[in-house]
Structure 1
Amino acid sequence: MVTELQHRMQESFKEHVSEDHLMDCMKCGFCLPACPTYLITDQDETHSPRGRIALMKAMRDGDVVWDGSVEDAFDVCLGCRACEPACPAGVQYGSLIEETRVAIQQVKPQHVVAKSVRKATFDGVFADQGKMTGTVKLVQLYQKSGLQKATRKIGFLNLFPPFMQEMESVLPAIETKKKRTFSAKPKTTRVAFFTGCLMDTLFQETNKRTIELLEWLGADVQIPAEQQCCGALHGHSGELEKGLRNARKNLDVFDSDDFDYIVNNAGGCGAFLTEYENHLKEDSQYAEKAAQFSRKMIDISSLFVKLGMNARLKEMKSEAHSIVTYQDSCHLRNVNKVILEPRSLLMDAPGFEYKELIDASSCCGSAGIYNLLQPEMAKRILDLKMKGVKELQPAKIVTSNPGCLMQMNVGIKREKLEHEMQAVHIVDFLYEAIQKQS
């Protein structure tokens, strides 16, 4: 007997999940060895891209009954999109998993608490940069007032789940002062900086260093006012329309004609930003704006390379005394295809020897807020990642995304390696490496 929920869920899948995209899958299995959840679950087909696509089609066709196991198959997906480069048919898995989560979100019954949390998150903090700033100021007060030390000392944090304790322990110290180190070169390139929500609050020092390094390389950096969260978190959580609301606001404040590049320094944000063009191609008011915006979007390591940072680094080249390695941001690698640029910068960095991390291209388990929603799976994925880290023993693990940065520091702390190594954002790594030579 088909229940009302089953019927509504099937209709939602028909409405939101593209049948054409589903039919692109040839079921060849090339995606399987690229999928972290397939590997970590002992090759459970349900937790593979091929298996999930089969479930999407079965839901659309009414061949399976919607229940917790079906929902879990979709929830456990990291959304890392490592399956896309591996797919010979070019299946648009990222679009399919976004559409699936939208379909589920439209119909799934939710408790009042869950609804309230989602509304506060997607219509509040991540829809208004002012609210994000206010929230982070509370975190800063927590750090600076002595409350953080007190809660740790009395064991108050023990009341929270272990994964939340770990994330609290690696929160960056939020600073407000900036000391300029490098002099700006004559301006040759016009750049608009997409500051991001987390990067401009929790990691504002990294943003300041980003601007300083770009100016050192001859960029005229402008920061358009009233920017909002890129919308990636919304898109990955079944709230795509709310993410596109943010996208339209961003397109309104970025006039692409005024800039040679629009740069970002967070891999996860960069992927969604470059896909504004795809998401808004049917929007007559914003399609052209979105296409131009996406074409000019560039990640920070790629822009550093274009502006000649490698040559500047080589001029400073000194004897290597420490190992540096790189953990890919999944979306930067799999969506934006940025692989060599950050590695080339690390290879040329003075005072370091670059060595490739084992399985650097595989996800660390952060995946936006995946490590908060799926802590056990995220832990298993991170534990596997840390095996390679311990074998390599680098002094610095460089990342290009704030979530990856915090996740890798969780792994370092969990393995009690914080006195031997550190995870750092690529901007901070380069800034400090150059600063030592100045």
Structure 2
Amino acid sequence: MTTAKEQQEIQNHFKERMNEDELLNCMRCGFCLPSCPTYIESGYKESHSPRGRIALMKAVADGIIEPDEDVERTLDLCLGCRACEPVCPSGVNYGHLLEEARDIINQNKKHSLPVRALRKTVFEGLFPHQNRMRMAVGLLGFYQRTGLQALTQKTGLMNLFPSHLATMEKVLPKAPSLKEMKSRPTELKATAEVKKRVAFFSGCLMDTMFLDTNNATLKLLQMAGCEIAIPEEQACCGALHGHSGEKDTAKKMAKRNIEAFEDLGADYIITNAGGCGAFLIDYDHLLKDDDQWHERARQFTAKIKDVTEILVEMDFHVQIPLSMQNVTVTYQDSCHLRNVMKTSSAPRLLLQSITGAHYQEMQKADSCCGSAGIYNIIESEMSMKILDSKMEHTKNTNAAIVVTANPGCLLQMKLGIEKEGLSNRMKAVHIADLLYEAATSQIS
């Protein structure tokens, strides 16, 4: 619970730091309402809509209401999917307002000792250090390979945890070994005629838990005619920090990444995770008040491109035969890939180019699946409501393969498939893994 002194500090910072013009840009027209998952799943509660949250931010900044637990709660319940932005006629940058508000609250509120310890461990002790991420995933691999996981599931130990966490433990990908994670090259040559030089943002979770997907992505880029630089000095993108009220740490990681990539002579910086890409492409906003870094951030963000966009640009789907055995596939948009990076047609074009694969568009494919980083852990009730709605649309496609473009979405869809008892006839895969399989299906 925030004290009166903390509330006053929060109110002062809202007045000083919140963008008044951006708050006033919201015309309260309601175009955002049908796009907001929490508004719909809360039973159309106004305070859980984008315009409702903006009204609360404005009221706090104007001193009309106090930044109490109810205000904090409605901001915390937002997924940050930013589906409201593309449909807003005024072009309100809601995501920027949300991140600033959360940062103000977090920096001026004294958390309990357990919460402080957890935040310090996750935000400072783990994600900024890739060697520690490797160790953590290495321990997961040990747990999976030694039979501990099977024993845990057999004894029913996981039943002590909430059902969605028990199911999530079940669908986690097979973790790579420490040796595999440490053997990342820094340069790769194209396996076709060289057309572009790109740099690859490998990410933290993507280059550990989802190492196979990163490897598939690199092979696709090589086949398309890209020579690839993979700088060792790169760090976590900082999205988890930026979305959770830890902007100072996010800025430190942004500067580290800009420095790591700026002298590589790359035409593009390629990502394969919608959440990472959306935060990377916002570095110029994150560092807008830093005179020494803003221009460097602008040059960095100008090069960010999702892997599906560059594959289409380089006619990968035309030059490389893509084929699969008769199968129906559908696509679940990554919110940040679609709403922030504006990438939605490229993944669909690539999937529709696979011979033998019938592409079936999912109704409301552009709506959030409820993953949203760690939202499905800390806001499990709302997350599962949103996932249940998503799975209804998924089942209606009759697809055997659900394709995603973000690790959080991938795990969430795997979770949904397991919850619905569909794992015997449906699976979720990252688009890079599916494209690589389709591109090599005829290679003996």
TM range (shorter): over 0.9
Residues 414 and 427, structure 2, Cα contact 8 Å, conserved in 1: yes
Residue 395 of structure 1: how far off its partner (Å): 0.9
| 1:257–1:211 distance in 2 versus 1, CA, 3 Å | closer
- Partner in structure 1 of residue 369 of structure 2: 364
Which residue in the other structure is 1:168 paired with? 169
SS of 2:173's equivalent in the other structure is: coil
Matched residue type, 1:152: Q
Alpha-carbon separation, structure 2, partners of 1:286 and 1:394: 46
What's the offset of the Cα at 1:255? 2.1
Cα pair distance change 1:42/1:292, threshold 3 Å: same
Q: How does 1:82-97 map to 2 (within 5 A)?
A: 82-97=83-98
264, 272, 276: which one aligns with 1:265: 272
1:159 aligns with 160
Equivalent of residue 184 in structure 1, options 187, 191, 199: 191
Match of 2:330?
Answer: 325
Which residue matches 1:143? 144
Whether contact under 8 Å (1:230, 1:250) holds in the other structure is yes
TM-superposed CA distance for 1:5, in Å, is: 3.1
Contact 2:410 2:428 in 1 (8 A): yes
Range that drifts further, 60-69 or 238-247: 60-69
How far apart in 1 are the matches of 2:139 and 2:74?
36
2:158 counterpart letter in structure 1? L
Match 1:412 to one of 411, 414, 417: 417
Q: CA deviation at 1:170?
A: 1.2
TM-score where L is the length of structure 2: 0.94
User: Would the aligned equivalents of 1:365 and 1:379 in 2 still touch at CA under 8 Å?
Assistant: yes
**Residue matched to 2:426:** 421
Aligned pairs, how many? Answer: 432
Give percent identity, aligned residues only. Answer: 49
Match for 1:12: what amino acid?
H
Partner of residue 195 from structure 1, selected from 198, 202, 206? 202
Do the aligned residues in 2 keep the contact of 1:323 with 1:352 (CA within 8 Å)? Answer: yes
Superposition deviation, residue 321 in structure 1: 1.7
Moved more, 152-161 or 51-60: 152-161
Give the superposed CA RMSD. Answer: 1.7
- Does the 8 Å contact 2:323/2:439 carry over to 1? no
User: 1:389 matched to which residue of 2?
Assistant: 394
Contact 1:256–1:292 (8 Å) recurs in 2: no
1:7 corresponds to 2:8 = yes
Q: Which amino acid aligns with 1:204?
A: L
Matched, 1:227 2:234: yes
Q: What corresponds to 2:289 in structure 1?
A: 282
Q: Is the 8 A contact 2:190 2:225 kept in 1?
A: no
Residue 71 of structure 1 deviates from its aligned partner by 1.4
Per the alignment, in what secondary structure is the counterpart of residue 121 of structure 1?
helix
Judge conservation of contact 1:397–1:421 (CA < 8 Å) in 2. Answer: yes
Cα distance in structure 2, aligned partners of 1:63 and 1:188: 58
Q: Name the CA distance, whole Å, in 2 between partners of 1:391 and 1:414.
A: 16
Q: Does 1:311 align with 2:311?
A: no
| 1:146 aligned partner, one-letter code | G
Q: Structure 2 counterpart of 1:275, which letter?
A: D
Unaligned runs of 5+ in 2: 184-188
1:304 is aligned with what amino acid? L
Pair 1:109–1:186, CA change in 2 (3 A): same
**Amino acid in structure 2 at the alignment position of 1:342:** P
- Helix, strand or coil at the partner of 2:91: coil
Whole-Å Cα distance in 1 between the matches of residues 421 and 263 of structure 2? 46
Kindly state the Cα deviation for residue 240 of structure 1 after the two structures are TM-superposed.
Answer: 1.1
The match for 1:338 among 343, 358, 370 is 343
1:382–1:411 CA contact under 8 A, matched in 2: yes
**Deviation sequence 1:311-350 (CA, Å, 0-9, x none):** 035x4557x7211110000000000110100000000012
TM-superposed CA distance for 1:268, in Å, is 0.3
Q: Secondary structure at the match of 2:441?
A: helix
Q: SS in structure 2 opposite 1:12?
A: helix
Note the alpha carbon deviations across 1:159-209, whole angstroms, 9 max, x for none.
11222112211110123569xxx9811322101000000100000011111
Correspondence for 1:210: 217
